[in-house]
Chains A and B, each alone.
Chain A
């Protein structure tokens, strides 16, 4: 009972403040700065070492061979991804980066694959320094 008079000024002040409620579907979302969202893959920086596929705990990264240019690139299956960002940590070439995008629900699993088009994949120059 003693706390009631102490709370009254706080309660009256709160009336004139903005409510903390976010009406999310009607307003743009405000994700936390540390959120681990959808990963972004840059094929030009990738060397196809496959470390990301080895480290991925949920097996969401599949390495495929592209015969035309004789190099391997990863395919990301976001339906299996648990957004731990181990691949981001382990990639020493900076080819995989994280983003804050989290609205990635889809009706079809195939929409959740990050597949690089074959035309974008250029042959690796062996011995070139990055």
Chain B
């Protein structure tokens, strides 16, 4: 690996840029949801409280690490170190700045696989403790993962089939021209976009799908026993998940319009992707601010009875539209 690639991985658009984005998105979430609920949100630290998530992170890092004796601490530490790196690794395949650091044909499946593994690691966080709150939260999380993951994978294949590629970089390049050349594709595309957002909302555990850490029932669900540095890393994990979800959805369904051919164009296309990610997050946070938590039965009903069949329906609709010119001619 040459030095330039190393700088890309560590600094821009790799590790450091992604962590800064994660902290910014956390602020964006808090501020936006607060304004949607007519509150002020963070105001004190930095310009309009923009440094508040960083201050929280540093505060948690300096706190005492309280270990629960009944929990498997080695497992927990391993999980919390591995889980954030999984999202950073999968973001190397997503065009965060318009181009990807690594790319190969079929990396869409790898990224989907890694994100599922990361969600399953969260389940292990709850399962390492012998507490009823964490156990209940972890069990609910597992049920929820089974619900949304199949739908998310099926819906991620919709733009892949539209662009006729399984490489995220190629999909994000071709998706806009593919949809424009055949406007009928907009029907399954928009349909899949809405359903994919719902599945990602369940992945992020935001309202109305915040069932695994339902505050009024389970204290904090599977994160009840975690504190100090471990909680800091768990928060970082959730923020990186937010970055992953927003950029992954934006690159699959909106694509990259500005081609990153020179240094100036890289900045332009990274701004473009950033704005698209903010748009995706705006929709997700609007749903969060407008809704209340549903029960786990309703979630399973919603996903198994409606969203999974509808996602396969949109996939088959796409096949029909794609095959239509061949049949008619």
Contacts and interface: CB of A to CB of B under 8 A. Distances in A.
Interface of B: 32, 34-40, 43, 208, 286-287, 289-291, 294, 298
A32 interface: no
Given A7-B290, A11-B286, A23 B36 contact: no
The 10 closest A-B pairs by CB, nearest first: A7-B290, A21-B40, A11-B290, A4-B291, A11-B36, A15-B35, A20-B38, A19-B40, A11-B289, A8-B290
A91 B37 CA distance: 46
A11 B34 CA distance: 10
Contact of B36 (A4, A14, A20, A21): A14
Contacts of B286: 8, 11-12
Nearest to A17: B38
Nearest to A22: B40
Contacts, number: 39
Contact of A19 (B38, B208, B289): B38
Interface size range on A against B: 10 to 19
Nearest to B291: A4
Contacts of B289: 11
Contact of B35 (A7, A14, A23): A14
A104 interface: no
Nearest to B290: A7
Interface string A1-39: 100100110111011010111010000000000000000
Contacts of A21: 38-40
B34 A19 contact: yes
Given A15-B32, A23-B43, A4 B287 contact: yes
